[in-house]
């Protein structure tokens, strides 16, 4: 039996009871580790984080906490090679795909370290400017932001064990709020190892960062009113969290990042031989195949002018045909596996649902796997589906197949395209492709209410653009409606979730002293 990974709770490493759940190599099926959260004293874990961890973090200024993030970056960088090995073994990702998770996390933390340093030696943040409450201005109001006196519980999805942890922990720790991370079971190893390395380096004060690996039972029951929960995962689990007593009765603040049927839209001015057309094709192929399509931001729906439907199908299909699929340890392999056989089954069943209302334009399931046994490995070839009647299909706008699958659809005019995109009922990201900057600006605003991010690709920035699905810490991540209604990142906006806003009404001299006033601990 593989090693049972311990949990870091109440400042100690604790093994859960029983044999635990096995984590597998999704390519070979070999057991790589075990996790168990059974029997853990969650009440003590949460109390220790809230009191010991929270007090220690709040005693520091923003600049001091930013320096801690910088120290975490150094620890993670020093252990990068081990993380790549774990990602290959437990997530089945190629080196390039592991980088999105591992180096993406390090980059994001580094950004928050830099932005946090600029906040200086303050213990509270002022929000906006002061307002006069009386006629003579002697009595004033100033809004302040102070760190919430609770814990931040992170419940994360399986596809980003590293980035999912640190893109949340960066803003939380910088805000002065201790973290309890619960990685998704299937890929928990990487998050657990990273926390272990940071703990061993003694970078953070005791109680600032805990990790619970294994089942989620009891986590939500441990929440108290000043705690916050940041969740990434499926809409079904999100609904359970939203309905929990801690949220309904205790007003525990919740951020939800759920699934999303994201779009890519080629503007009507593009021809089949235009650069915009090629940029769309390249981006769709990249988004379909990076991390085997297991990105919440991946392109799921491709909208092109009706006259370009066949050309787009041919161009995308040809490029997908060149993608080699199999064991990520083999250098010839461009796309590794899904994270588990369970996901493999989920992708197959989602594909069947979509195929009931769409044609298969490129079928990667016929491709031979490199160095992998199709009966064991969670590898699936890329698939391009298409429907010429996107108005009559509901599943293509509803069902997110969390794998290398996207659906092409034609539109008549831009109003039709916008209506189709909105049938996703709120998404994380839409990308636009064209050369007319005025038309792109109009379309971007048109889609900004239904997409958390609009990524606009034009020939002028073809080389510099950061990618439809790449979540940059400078930009908002989250989307309305079925995408969960959450907001993460967006530079220092991310700190808002971990702070409480209060209005201080006082004489001007008191207001003058607010930013320099340390919090009572």
Instruction: Report the catalytic residues.
Output: 257, 296
CB of 26 to ligand NAP, least distance (A): 14
Residues in region 258-317 near ligand NAP by CB under 6 A: 258-259, 296
Cα angle, residue 224 at apex, residues 218 and 227 outer, rounded to 5°: 100
Contact with ligand NAP (CB under 6 A) among 26, 207, 233, 403: 233
Q: Can you tell me the distance from the alpha carbon of 92 to that of 81, in angstroms, rounded to the nearest whole number?
A: 15
CB of 87 to ligand NAP, least distance (A): 15
| CA nearest to 258, candidates 497, 495, 489, 486 | 486
393 binds ligand NAP (CB under 6 A): no
468 binds ligand NAP (CB under 6 A): no
Helices (H), 374-477: 395-398, 414-422, 437-447
Contact with ligand NAP (CB under 6 A) among 49, 66, 100, 184: 184
* 3-state SS class at 19: coil
- Residue 35 or 266 with smaller CB distance to ligand NAP: 35
* Distance separating the N- and C-terminal Cα atoms of the chain: 46
406 binds ligand NAP (CB under 6 A): no
105 binds ligand NAP (CB under 6 A): no
428 binds ligand NAP (CB under 6 A): yes
Residues in region 67-96 near ligand NAP by CB under 6 A: none
- Residue 20 or 364 with smaller CB distance to ligand NAP: 20
The answer to whether the beta carbons of residues 304 and 312 sit under 8 Å apart is yes
CB of 488 to ligand NAP, least distance (A): 7
Residue in the structure block whose two tokens are 């990487």 = 190
Contact with ligand NAP (CB under 6 A) among 257, 287, 446, 487: 257
Determine the interface stretch with ligand NAP among 127-135, 255-263, 315-323, 324-332 (rule: CB under 6 A): 255-263
Phi and psi of 5, rounded to 5°?
-70, 140
Determine the interface stretch with ligand NAP among 43-51, 151-159, 351-359, 456-464 (rule: CB under 6 A): 151-159
| CA nearest to 264, candidates 43, 56, 96, 420 | 420
Which residues, 6 or more positions from 172, have their beta carbon under 8 angstroms from its beta carbon? 152, 178, 179, 230, 498
The answer to whether the beta carbons of residues 448 and 432 sit under 8 Å apart is no
**From start to end of 320-450, where are the E strands?**
359-363, 383-386, 405-411, 427-433
- Residue 215 or 467 with smaller CB distance to ligand NAP: 215
Cα angle, residue 480 at apex, residues 187 and 249 outer, rounded to 5°: 80
Residue nearest ligand NAP (C-beta atom): 233
Please work out the total of residues on this chain that contact ligand NAP, with binding judged by CB under 6 A: 26
Contact with ligand NAP (CB under 6 A) among 112, 163, 277, 402: 402
156 binds ligand NAP (CB under 6 A): yes
Q: Can you tell me the distance from the alpha carbon of 259 to that of 232, in angstroms, rounded to the nearest whole number?
A: 9
Contact with ligand NAP (CB under 6 A) among 47, 55, 237, 475: 237
Q: Is 39 exposed, middle or buried (0-12, 13-18, 19+ CB in 10 A)?
A: exposed
Under the rule (CB under 6 A), what is the footprint of ligand NAP? Answer: 155-160, 182, 184-185, 215-216, 219-220, 232-234, 237, 240, 257-259, 296, 400, 402, 428, 484
């Amino acid at each position: 039996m593989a090693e049972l990974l311990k949990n870091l709770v109440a400042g100690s490493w604790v093994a859960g009871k029983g044999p635990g759940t096995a984590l597998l190599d999704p390519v070979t099926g070999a057991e790589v580790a075990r996790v168990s959260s059974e029997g853990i004293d969650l009440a003590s874990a949460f109390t220790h984080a809230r009191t010991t961890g929270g007090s220690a973090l709040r005693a520091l200024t923003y600049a001091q906490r930013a320096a801690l993030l910088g120290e975490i970056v150094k620890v993670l960088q020093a252990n990068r090679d081990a993380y790549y090995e774990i990602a290959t073994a437990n997530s089945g990702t190629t080196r390039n795909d592991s980088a999105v998770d591992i180096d993406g996390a390090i980059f994001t933390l580094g950004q928050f370290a830099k932005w946090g340093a600029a906040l200086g030696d303050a213990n509270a943040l002022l929000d906006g400017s002061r307002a006069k409450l009386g006629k003579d201005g002697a009595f004033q109001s100033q809004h302040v932001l102070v760190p919430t006196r609770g814990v931040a519980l992170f419940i994360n999805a399986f596809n980003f064990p590293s980035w999912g942890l640190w893109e949340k922990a960066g803003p939380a720790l910088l805000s002065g709020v201790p973290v309890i991370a619960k990685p998704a079971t299937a890929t928990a190893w990487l998050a657990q190892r990273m926390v272990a390395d940071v703990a061993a380096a003694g970078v953070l004060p005791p109680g600032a960062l805990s990790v619970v690996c294994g089942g989620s039972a009891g986590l939500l029951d441990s929440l108290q009113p000043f705690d916050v929960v940041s969740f990434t995962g499926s809409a079904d689990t999100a609904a359970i969290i939203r309905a929990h007593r801690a949220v309904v009765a205790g007003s525990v603040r919740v951020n939800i990042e759920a699934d999303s049927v994201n779009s890519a839209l080629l503007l009507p001015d593009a021809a089949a031989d235009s650069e915009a057309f090629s940029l769309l094709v390249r981006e769709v192929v990249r988004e379909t195949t990076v991390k085997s399509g297991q990105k919440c931001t991946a392109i799921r729906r491709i909208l092109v002018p009706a006259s370009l439907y066949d050309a787009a199908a041919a161009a995308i299909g040809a490029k997908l045909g060149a993608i080699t699929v199999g064991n990520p340890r083999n250098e010839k392999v461009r796309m590794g596996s899904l994270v588990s056989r369970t996901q493999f089954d989920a992708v197959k069943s989602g594909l069947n649902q979509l195929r009931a209302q769409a044609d298969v334009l490129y079928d990667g399931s016929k491709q031979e796997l490199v160095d992998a046994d199709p009966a064991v490995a969670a590898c699936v070839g890329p698939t391009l589906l298409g429907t010429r009647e996107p108005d009559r299909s509901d599943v293509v706008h509803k069902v997110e197949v969390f794998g290398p699958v996207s659906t092409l659809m034609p539109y008549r005019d831009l109003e039709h395209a916008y209506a189709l995109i909105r049938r996703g009922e709120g998404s994380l990201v839409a990308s636009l492709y064209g050369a007319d900057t005025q038309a792109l600006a109009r379309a971007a605003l048109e889609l900004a209410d239904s997409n958390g991010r609009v990524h606009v690709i034009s020939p002028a920035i073809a080389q510099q653009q950061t990618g439809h699905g790449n979540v940059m810490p400078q930009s908002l991540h989250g989307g309305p409606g079925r995408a969960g209604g959450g907001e993460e990142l967006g530079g220092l906006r991310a700190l808002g979730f971990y702070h409480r806003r209060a209005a201080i009404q006082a004489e001007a001299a008191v207001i003058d002293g607010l930013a320099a006033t340390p919090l009572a601990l």
